[in-house]
Structure 1
Amino acid sequence: MQELKQYTYEEAVAGARDYFKGDELAATVWVTKYALKDSFGKIYECSPDQMHERIASELERIEKKYPNPMTKAEIRELLDGFRYAVPQGGPMTGIGNDLQIASISNCFVIGHEKPADSYGGIIRIDEEQVQLMKRRGGVGHDLSHIRPTGSPVLNSALTSTGIVPFMERYSNSTREVAQDGRRGALMLSLSIKHPDAERFIDAKLEQGKVTGANVSIKVDDEFMQAAIDGKPYKQQFPITGDKPMVSGEIDAAALWKKIVHNAWKSAEPGVLFWDTIIRESVPDCYADLGFRTVSTNPCGEIPLCPYDSCRLLALNLYSYVDKPFTKEAKFDTAKFKKHVRKAMRMMDDIIDIELEKVEAIISKIDKDPEDKDIRRVERELWEKIRRKALMGRRTGLGITAEGDMLAALGLRYGSDEAIEFAADLQKTLAVEAYRASVEMAGERGAFEMYDPKREERNPMILRIKEADPKLYDLMVKQGRRNVAMLTIAPTGTTSLMTQTTSGIEPVFLPVYKRRRKVNPSDKNVNITFVDDVGDSWEEYNVYHHHFLTWIKVNKGLTDEQIKKLSDKEVDKLVAESPYHNATSNDIDWVAKVKMQGAMQKWVDHSISVTVNLPNDVTEALVDEVYKTAWKSGCKGVTVYRDGSRAGVLVKKDKKKEEEGVPTSRPVSLEADVIRFKNGAEDWIAFVGLYNHKPYEIFTGKVDEDALYFPKTVKKGNIIKVIEKDGVKRYDFQYKDKYGYVNTVGGISRLFDKELWNYAKLISGVLRTGMPPIDVVNLVSSLRLDSDTINTWKNGVARALHKYIPNGTKPKGGKKCPECGQESLVYQEGCLVCTNCGHSKCG
């Protein structure tokens, strides 16, 4: 293998910045998430051009296995500049990357083919989700097979603890798994028919509960109609069958009201319209062969059967508009059709690449030095995934830049005309994708289960038949390559690469303000804001890329002229543009849901959509959004009311929250141990806790020879102060798996003397009761000449993030680096944008 050139982070960002024509955000996101790296984080690409060459070379290699192969040049034409076809996430990162052994699938669903609510079955799922997350996959699974609270069990517990404790177990496991510095992604779902449905719906309202998972409730048509009509609804366990062990009637309207209230209050649960999902699902025509849909991936756009997976690729719709933002603007349907068929070939090639990746994972497992019995579960898991991928060859072809495309054509997002155009275009995509799959079946063979008799009454297949009878006849004759193939996934970071609106979403804002730090002594500096520590900042406008395109096309202004526009002049331009009254806060929310329903008819998987609502909307509107989604044929929907994450969590013990902290350190404190990466270095933090809050923190670089306790340390740790001859020593004590107490004597010896002194200083601040977020801000604002101390302060901030309560907003009006809005909140130690979903851990 040819030796690869290594780049520094700064070199890679500089190269990517040139590629993106000065777009710093796109450059840094690309380097962080998508540039070729090895398992140690070393970077081997400095431009998306290199990435596209890597991907095109691999796809060409696969194409040559089959008749009528596409050339590398054809593939590069689709990939270059993120103009047309954009692989998402795992495929962009992993295709052609032989430096890491990882899957390129974006999402998985796991579960038992037959319901298993024993501890063995529950723990097996826990282990499997962790194994997938460590290979970069998002995971979903359903909990409807777990017996409800109070049910008899044949063990010493006598009765079941129900759903919630296992939600916490799976959530905690997810939080422990890091993927390139990010935690794993998990979706937990439950049928509304389950007797623990109300507990499931309420689980995330209590502080500290189920913080590592998204939750969605699976509602059926019978429940929705009962809620509308005010009639009772029967719950039972098991949720299917004529002889349940537990059953009872509930007030459907009251439970529905709780779902709406919780969604209004905290943005969860999401709602999955399960009868619609199953009724429309093509794979469920093969349910008895293992393709019974049980849950969705974490963002909800791919309903899956156990052990199936999917890979995603989006087509950039804006690029198919000729003469955008002019009276002659027109969508190039012929080119779009041609590219859809090529994109489907690429997607099928990516399945072959994923199968190779899975083989590599299995080979690695076989070579691992652990006992075969320990490796068995992981190996069997990947064998199941390999088998399902071969059987169905499922793909996830979608779109992005819907909002920009409509604006470029002069259509206002949310209008009847825009909804009709969007739905017709999605129909075109669906028909051409199915055409490509049928063509590939003739060249490469159909997916092995294909049986036209099984599918002849499926609503999606019938729509394809009505749209193109000849295509349907050919499909019956020679089959189809892929069991299902279409989705519309969230494209947050992908849209930064395409520099367009995300997925099917409208533009967030055509223009918004950002601040940059400036030197007051510089010439021609414009200081508009001075922060709490005296730093000076300049406000400047950030324009949505294609709003700038509109200005240049219609007003003829140069970049320099645009920079000099006053706020009043900018507002006037917005009012004249097609983005006026078409932002995420302007559009009619019910109309947006109707658009989703119209497009859903031509998507055989699902659509990931969050309906963003202003803070002052009523619960009645949330109710209307959900019901409209159901009636319009949507498969699922989530709402987010602005600010609803903050201040909604119930305090577990108010008395403890109000208690002060002792000024004299207790002899022993409950302790937490946090291991993390600080740059390329392995670091550790020992955090002494009083009433579960940080009271002291000692952190530094790990010396593995000196630090001989296990990497995973269970609860029951303490930091104990030993005083002898007037000298204090801090000992860390933990229990090993056999229950024996072990001591790391004098943890100060683990760290540099200078770091230890700073640690004592910051610990003194914590002991005053200062909230962790204020301590983080204090530490982060330190201006120190020493590189060692600057690294240390980053470590302290990283460790303390864990203790910032969910929903807390960062101080100082901090804006999201992706969308520019002041909508950042802490969620499990990560800053998460509640508007666009951007997150940055650490």
Structure 2
Amino acid sequence: EDVFCRIASFVASQETTKIKQKKWAEAFYKDLYEGYWMPGGRVLAGAGDLYRLKTLANCFVTRIEDDDIESIYKAAAECARTYSYGGGIGVDITPLRPRGSVVHNAADTSTGAVSFMELYSMTTGLIGQSGRRGALMLTIDIKHPDIFHFLSVKKSPNWVSQQIVEQCRWSGKFDEYQLDLIKKQVVENTQIRFANISVKVTDEFMKAVKEEKLYGRDRIIIYRKKNKQRLMRAYQKDGYFYSLGIPNKDIRDYEELKVFDSYALFSQWMEDQFGKTVSQVDLKDAMKRDVYGDYLVDTEDENEELAIHFTGDFLLYFGSDETNEVRELVKARDVWDTFIESNYRTAEPGLMFWTKMSRYSPSNYVGRPIICTNPCAEVPLEDGGACNLGSVNLARFVKNGFMDSASVDWENLEKAVYNLVRFLDNVVSWNQVLNPLEKQRDAAGETRRLGVGIMGIADMLYQLKIPYDSPEGVALMDKVMQFINSQAYLASSRLAREKAPSDIFEYEDYANGPFFQEALPDEVKEHIRHHGLRNIAITSIAPTGTISNIIRGVSVGRKNYIGVSGGVEPVFALFYTRRAESFDNQFFKVFHASVQAYIDMFELTDKVAKVETEEELRKFLPDSFFRTAHHISPERRIEIQSVCQKYVDHSISSTINLPEDIEPEVISNIYLKAWEKGLKGVTVYRDGSRFPILTADSKPSEFQAFKDKKFEVEAGREKRVFFGDEVMRMPDGTLTTPFHYFRALGIKNNQDIEVV
């Protein structure tokens, strides 16, 4: 209660009169006490504490201004100052020239963009935040020539890691199996240790990946290009930097025309249809392609031309006055497979669909284009921008929960959304004073970004007895998200009428954004047209990993249950087992809060006391309770997230957990489907992709027993040794491992296989 009082009174002090301050302090306190919503952790920790320098924003983004040493270290200093105030930060390294580029100093050539990741990582690890480190996200554009190096930076051992392993080998105390384990631990714990990394993937790249999957490699494909503006080079200019400026094609301007199996067939068709001849040498020359990797041929239509390339072609590109052009023509599938392999082995890098993020970012239409995301990736931001998070607890907005008459409390939900928007807007006003850097304080005042999200959606569905992944459940999520988004935008417009709209809001420009056009009802658009918006972007779904565990959840009578499901996620498990703090090795079950509420409400405690598995609970709990994280297919999770994404102007941080023995091709298909369904990003985590701190299993699984074996694989004249869990590409393009290959053949006992 004291914490809520401190937070409510401090945030309400931004109101303009004493009467309003008292009114809103009471309203904020009531909502916090009732668990209707909760702000992000920085607000909980810092609001009202003026004795220490603290920001109330969770995370920021900073820009590397130029491709020079001063800008690189200036960004590192900005990271350090941000960490000292309690914030996390995202940095995009795309503006930095690739490895081997010319530099005009003693070095002659650059060490590349990726080499500076260690600088930002170590800066993060050195600045403490109350016993923990800050959070850092490093990103790069998929088109950057250093992309292969970036994808492998947490997988391939660097010089330091190699030296440690070699010293262990030299000691003679370890066999090869132990040395492999040491190498994995050393790489994970020393290389870019204090950063998460993600790739900014474009529609251009994803189209090239799908193109090769569909047609195979090196067939000739022709597109009709509708927009006849040629871009043969794209040098970096003052104020135009590569986190924005690496050229990526708009695939909506390209219509597939024809695919040819051979150059002869292609050449004959071009001669017959257009009277044109294209030399095979020219077609293969990367320097004769435009910056999108296409060989262009004029047609009689002045508004169209032909864009020709080999299936799967993708042009890595960097250009500036200092480096001139750096071009490398690669296959998109090779980049993609390298990404999947690294993600499978180390759970990184992550992936964000940057075309969708940029196109649907409201701030891009009012002169504040996004350049990177916060560390959790749910808020893409401009330089100096910050995520200002707060989440509505949907578990608290059900009337007559668990009963046949249960229903959503729409009236109170509307009030709660308005109060949260006003609360977070006041937090922005405080951040205009409390943010550590001047550009962060300025950005707060310009965009006034909010991050209104949700938690407890699974608990709401439990109380309504609707399965999470059922058609009814997805339909309700659609309705709830549409309602919250509409009410949040309406609340911001009402605040604009009362206080003032954002300084950079211009209706004509803002209304060009597809999110505004597609996600808001007409009456809200009309209100915004008349009164403007106080906040340029408003909604975001964060993981809520901390606040979802401490907020009030379901109530039964006068008893309150603490904790709800996080973000848009389903319940992870109905119960888990904990060991008592005594030394008698006793264990007890801890049920998810809403499950425990149901058990108490219907007096089932004695009946579930001896239950050992979730399956045994089916006799006592509704079927809808059993749609937990591991019972919902990844494909269905993607579909559900895509429904919610329609009503979120920022992004959604969500994780799909997969078993250790999942095949790499499954991970590839998950990411491809996420792009096809219009997601802005998704996280895939495979058990075992990080080195475990502790393990309680005395007996290894079939996969664990197999994965450390070595197998010699022949491919034509070449032979290569693979570990049992190492990613291989099959002739048909499928990504698999020796374990999955032999299992598909029906061979499960690895003792029957010849091992190197």
The normalised TM-score by structure 2 is: 0.71
Residue 248 of structure 1 corresponds to 328
Q: 1: distance between equivalents of 2:535 and 2:398?
A: 29
Residue 660 of structure 1 corresponds to none
2:566 pairs with 1:502: yes
The residue type paired with residue 494 of structure 2 is E
Residue 817 of structure 1 corresponds to none
Q: 1: distance between equivalents of 2:327 and 2:613?
A: 64
Verify the 8 A CA contact 1:269 1:638 in the aligned structure 2: no
Q: 2: distance between equivalents of 1:94 and 1:562?
A: 45
Equivalenced residues, count:
555
Distance 1:464 1:563, change over 3 A: closer
Verify the 8 A CA contact 1:446 1:478 in the aligned structure 2: yes
Verify the 8 A CA contact 2:145 2:316 in the aligned structure 1: yes
Q: Gaps (5+ residues) in structure 1? A: 1-48, 362-381, 519-534, 646-806, 815-842
Residue 454 of structure 1 corresponds to 509
Residue 376 of structure 2 corresponds to 299
Residue 623 of structure 1 corresponds to 668
Post-superposition offset of 1:252: 0.3
Residue 707 of structure 2 corresponds to none
Residue 286 of structure 1 corresponds to 366
Post-superposition offset of 1:464: 4.2
Q: 3-state SS of the aligned residue for 2:586? A: strand
Post-superposition offset of 1:386: 1.0
**Deviations 1:75-120 (CA, angstroms, capped at 9, x unpaired):** 2221104x102011101111111221111110100014xx411111
Q: 2: distance between equivalents of 1:423 and 1:574?
A: 31
Verify the 8 A CA contact 1:581 1:587 in the aligned structure 2: no
2:117 pairs with 1:164: no
Residue 80 of structure 1 corresponds to 33
2:687 pairs with 1:642: yes
1:430 to 485, 492, 495: 485
Verify the 8 A CA contact 2:318 2:326 in the aligned structure 1: yes
Post-superposition offset of 1:572: 2.8
The residue type paired with residue 173 of structure 1 is T
Alignment of 1:58-73 (within 5 A): 58-65=10-17, 70-73=23-26
Q: 2: distance between equivalents of 1:159 and 1:66?
A: 62
Post-superposition offset of 1:244: 5.7
Alignment of 1:118-133 (within 5 A): 118-133=68-83
Q: 1: distance between equivalents of 2:2 and 2:498?
A: 31
Post-superposition offset of 1:412: 1.3
The residue type paired with residue 681 of structure 2 is G
Residue 104 of structure 1 corresponds to 56
**Deviations 1:165-198 (CA, angstroms, capped at 9, x unpaired):** 2011111111111111001110000000100011
1:394 to 449, 455, 477: 449
- RMSD value over aligned CA atoms? 2.2
Q: 3-state SS of the aligned residue for 1:492? A: coil
Q: 3-state SS of the aligned residue for 2:473? A: helix
2:538 pairs with 1:556: no
The residue type paired with residue 84 of structure 1 is Y
Q: 3-state SS of the aligned residue for 2:652? A: coil
Post-superposition offset of 1:64: 3.9
Identity %: 32
Verify the 8 A CA contact 2:315 2:329 in the aligned structure 1: yes
Post-superposition offset of 1:473: 1.9
Residue 234 of structure 2 corresponds to none
Residue 56 of structure 1 corresponds to 8
2:594 to 535, 546, 554: 546
Q: 1: distance between equivalents of 2:506 and 2:438?
A: 24
Residue 300 of structure 2 corresponds to none
Post-superposition offset of 1:423: 1.9
Alignment of 1:80-479 (within 5 A): 80-81=33-34, 83-112=35-64, 115-205=65-155, 206=157, 207=187, 208-230=190-212, 231-238=312-319, 245-287=325-367, 291-358=368-435, 382-465=437-520, 467=521, 469-479=522-532
The residue type paired with residue 437 of structure 1 is S
Post-superposition offset of 1:421: 1.4
Verify the 8 A CA contact 1:464 1:472 in the aligned structure 2: no
Verify the 8 A CA contact 1:393 1:483 in the aligned structure 2: yes
Verify the 8 A CA contact 1:109 1:304 in the aligned structure 2: yes
Verify the 8 A CA contact 2:4 2:29 in the aligned structure 1: yes
Verify the 8 A CA contact 1:226 1:252 in the aligned structure 2: yes
**Deviations 1:767-825 (CA, angstroms, capped at 9, x unpaired):** xxxxxxxxxxxxxxxxxxxxxxxxxxxxxxxxxxxxxxxx24226579xxxxxxxxxxx
Residue 554 of structure 2 corresponds to none
Verify the 8 A CA contact 2:61 2:90 in the aligned structure 1: yes
Distance 1:94 1:516, change over 3 A: same
Post-superposition offset of 1:589: 1.0
**Deviations 1:366-409 (CA, angstroms, capped at 9, x unpaired):** xxxxxxxxxxxxxxxx1111111111111111111112112221
The residue type paired with residue 235 of structure 1 is L
Post-superposition offset of 1:584: 1.2
Q: 3-state SS of the aligned residue for 1:204? A: coil
Post-superposition offset of 1:65: 4.2
Alignment of 1:504-523 (within 5 A): 504-518=568-582
Post-superposition offset of 1:605: 0.6
Distance 1:164 1:62, change over 3 A: same
2:538 pairs with 1:485: yes
Distance 1:458 1:326, change over 3 A: same
- Higher mean C-alpha displacement, 574-583 vs 489-498: 574-583
Post-superposition offset of 1:422: 0.8
Verify the 8 A CA contact 1:220 1:274 in the aligned structure 2: yes
The residue type paired with residue 246 of structure 1 is V
**Deviations 1:433-473 (CA, angstroms, capped at 9, x unpaired):** 000111111110000011111122211110245x2x23212
Verify the 8 A CA contact 1:263 1:269 in the aligned structure 2: yes
Q: 1: distance between equivalents of 2:607 and 2:347?
A: 38
Post-superposition offset of 1:568: 6.8
Distance 1:570 1:224, change over 3 A: closer
Q: 1: distance between equivalents of 2:94 and 2:614?
A: 56
Q: 1: distance between equivalents of 2:548 and 2:39?
A: 11
Q: 1: distance between equivalents of 2:638 and 2:679?
A: 8
2:699 pairs with 1:809: no
Q: 1: distance between equivalents of 2:135 and 2:459?
A: 29
Alignment of 1:402-801 (within 5 A): 402-465=457-520, 467=521, 469-498=522-551, 499-518=563-582, 535-553=583-601, 555-557=602-604, 561=606, 564-567=609-612, 571-573=616-618, 576-578=621-623, 580-645=625-690
Q: 3-state SS of the aligned residue for 1:235? A: strand
Distance 1:66 1:476, change over 3 A: farther
Distance 1:441 1:569, change over 3 A: closer
Distance 1:474 1:67, change over 3 A: farther
Post-superposition offset of 1:417: 2.2
The residue type paired with residue 168 of structure 1 is E
Distance 1:580 1:471, change over 3 A: closer
Verify the 8 A CA contact 2:465 2:624 in the aligned structure 1: no
Verify the 8 A CA contact 1:598 1:632 in the aligned structure 2: no
The normalised TM-score by structure 1 is: 0.64
Residue 161 of structure 2 corresponds to none
Verify the 8 A CA contact 2:93 2:114 in the aligned structure 1: no
Post-superposition offset of 1:163: 2.2
Post-superposition offset of 1:416: 2.5
- Higher mean C-alpha displacement, 243-252 vs 562-571: 562-571
The residue type paired with residue 540 of structure 1 is F
Verify the 8 A CA contact 1:426 1:599 in the aligned structure 2: yes
Post-superposition offset of 1:477: 2.0
Distance 1:574 1:580, change over 3 A: farther
Distance 1:811 1:622, change over 3 A: closer
Post-superposition offset of 1:63: 2.5
